[in-house]
Amino acid sequence: MRKRIISCIVLLPLVILATPSLHAFCYEPKIRVDDEFFVSDLVFTGTLVADQKLGLTTESYYDEDAYTWRVQRVFRGSIHAGDMVSTYSGNDSGRFPFDVKVGQSFLIFAFPDSTHKSGFAADNCGNSIPLSKAASTIAEIRQLPTRHGGLLYGKMIDGDLGVRINAIGTGITYTAITGTGGKFSLRVPPGTYSVSATKSGHIYADYDLAYKHSKAVKVPDGGSAGLAFREQGR
């Protein structure tokens, strides 16, 4: 049987609000499995069969790695076991995966990369990890079809307590109050929400490195959506 070759671009980190020039930092909040799963186009386990260094110079420096994976198990996306998936990662401090070796297996979450016409991205700060450490993540993925309802979660970057989180859906407003570490979570029906953070004497806006924009947040059935806010002027 002829194997299909799927090409993916692996960049860091996941870009939703802005495109950073450096890759050695993470977006906020730490993305949950049931959030990253639904924003990913491909979720699969694969074994690395080749690692090609691209852009080699006479000083033995290279621009990027071209990784080729043999797909083992598919959890999401239009690929099949046995397919070969190619991913590309820049040679910098945040490259993904950092020190993978041929023969090693990974669980990978991949999604479209807006800077490439036919590429994908994988977030080094997300839930893509070596298969040897992925048992609990895979168990959660397998439970997702049985879950119903949604979750909005997130944090105040400066840890602000007592901030009111308002999520406006279709004619209904859901609320929560930030607690320890400025974190919050709010159970909501699946749908699209406009979310704001309010506290007397304070004005909050989306954090510059937030994963998602708070004005039109999509919460899937059985999934979640993470947000991050910061007081203006800090």
Domain holding 64: CATH number?
A: 2.40.50.120
The model's pTM is 0.86
First to last CA, the chain: 59
Domain boundary among 92, 112, 144: 144
Residues 120 and 200 in one domain: no
Nearest to 119 by CA among 57, 46, 64: 64
pLDDT per position as a tens digit, 176-189: 999 999 999 999 99
3 state SS of 159: coil
Q: What is the C-alpha to C-alpha distance for residues 28 and 125, in angstroms, rounded to an integer?
A: 10
Last residue of a domain, one of 110, 144, 178: 144
52 and 123 both lie in a single domain: yes
Q: Are 73 and 53 in contact (CB under 8 A)?
A: no
pLDDT tens string 96-110: 777 789 999 999 998
Which range of residues forms the domain containing residue 110?
5-144
Cα(12)–Cα(208) distance, rounded to whole angstroms?
16
How confident is the model at residue 198, as a pLDDT?
97
Residues in the chain: 234
